[in-house]
């Protein structure tokens, strides 16, 4: 709690944001109908490895931080494919409403 107070005192009013709950959904729509391995993290949280079966989704919630720098990144693997994306970046993916759903859908034609 003391750290939060210090951060608020040393930040300008424009820098501080109200933390908001966000939902992020990742859907496996790969044409090859294979399982997709997903591993998501932020600077403070490691959500662990998840297996997302064909046509299914993995969803998680998080609160944005007061500094407006929230970032979640995930790695995705299926077969011999491996990809890494920033799946939520504050400012870029600002789903405007509280508890807004941001989504990623993986399709390989």
Collect the ranges in the chain with pLDDT lower than 70: 1-16, 93-109
Residue 104: what pLDDT?
A: 61
Q: What's the confidence (pLDDT) of residue 35? A: 95
Give the pairing of strands 100-106 and 21-28. Answer: parallel
Phi/psi-derived region of residue 55, left when phi > 0, alpha when psi is between -120 and 50, beta in every other case: left
Q: Residue 71, class by beta-carbon neighbours within 10 Å (0-12 exposed, 13-18 middle, 19+ buried)?
A: middle
Whole-model pTM? 0.73
Residue 5 has a pLDDT of 33
Residue 44 region by backbone torsions, left for phi larger than 0, else alpha for psi between -120 and 50, else beta: alpha
Q: Token pair of 109, please?
A: 């034609």
Q: What pLDDT is stored for residue 64 in this prediction?
A: 83
């Amino acid at each position: 709690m003391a750290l939060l107070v210090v951060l608020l005192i040393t930040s300008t009013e424009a820098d501080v944001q109200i933390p908001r709950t966000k939902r992020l959904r990742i859907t496996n729509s790969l044409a090859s109908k294979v399982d997709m391995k997903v591993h998501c993290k932020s600077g403070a949280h490691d959500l662990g490895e998840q297996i997302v079966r064909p046509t299914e989704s993995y969803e998680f919630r998080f609160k944005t931080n007061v500094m407006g720098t929230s970032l979640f990144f995930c790695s995705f693997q299926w077969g011999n494919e491996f990809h890494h994306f920033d799946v939520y970046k504050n400012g870029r993916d600002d789903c405007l409403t509280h508890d807004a759903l941001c989504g990623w859908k993986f399709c390989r034609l």
